Amino acid sequence: MRYAVLGTGTVGRTVAAKLASLGHEVTVGTRDPQATLARTEPDGYGNPPFAQWQPEHPEVRLATFNEAAASADIIVNATNGAAALAALEAAGADNLAGKVLLDIANPLDFSQGMPPSLNPVNTDSLGEQIQRAFPQAKVVKTLNTMNTLVMVDPARVPGEHHTFVSGDDADAKKAATDVLVSFGWPAESIIDLGDITTARGTEMLLPIWLRLWGALGHADFNFHIAGARTGA
């Protein structure tokens, strides 16, 4: 399968590397590949520049958002949430039409200081914004409720724990589930919450996630819904 992973940060890199390790053809999309490769300083989160990461992952291509999306069967939105709509606009509605679009981003808003708030929130979500802006894309919100290392290696967290899928298209949610299973998620650990409006619920897990990260002192944790199985 050919994947476009939009976003060159830690989440994009981690998911791209995982998909490549599973034998997929992976292109990371960015606004300006030359600018991305020209950076020599760590980003705002302390991640090494992409030019340092890429030689360790020679099988992952770097291209514009548009080129990456055009050649892909499945698109992963791994941008920082504030940049998501612009990145997808650059990817091109035609290049998203009819395709599964896994939205794993969160609309964190750092403009009011730390901890970040969410924007949109409550009566809207980034997942819904993307689905409205690109009605022909098959948006599935998933994996946005955990650290990126857990996304691609759920066994890092001991015991049972869950991930969620939200989306309007049943086939797209099935395709998303297949991706999750290939990442190591047991099928029974994937909860289908319903349509894309349920992305509000998963995006709104971020505030407690951030506080738990602080309280626990590590990011190798995840949400488990105790009692889910009895009624599932």
Q: In this complex, which beta carbon is closest to its own copies, that of residue 65 or of residue 209?
A: 209
Residue 214's CB: how many other CB atoms inside 10 A?
A: 9
DSSP state of 44: T
- In whole angstroms, the minimum distance from the beta carbon of 103 to its own copies comes to 16
DSSP state of 7: -
- In whole angstroms, the minimum distance from the beta carbon of 43 to its own copies comes to 26
Q: In this complex, which beta carbon is closest to its own copies, that of residue 44 or of residue 158?
A: 158
- In whole angstroms, the minimum distance from the beta carbon of 105 to its own copies comes to 17
Polymer length in residues for the chain: 232
Give the interface with its own copies as residue ranges (CB under 8 A).
Answer: 112, 117-118, 121-123, 156-161, 164, 191-194, 198, 200-202, 204-205, 207-212, 214-218, 220-228, 230-232
- In whole angstroms, the minimum distance from the beta carbon of 167 to its own copies comes to 13
Q: In 22-118, where does DSSP find H-type helix?
A: 33-38, 50-53, 65-70, 84-91, 93-96
Q: In this complex, which beta carbon is closest to its own copies, that of residue 71 or of residue 197?
A: 197
Residue 112's CB: how many other CB atoms inside 10 A?
A: 9
CA 15 from chain center: how many Å?
8
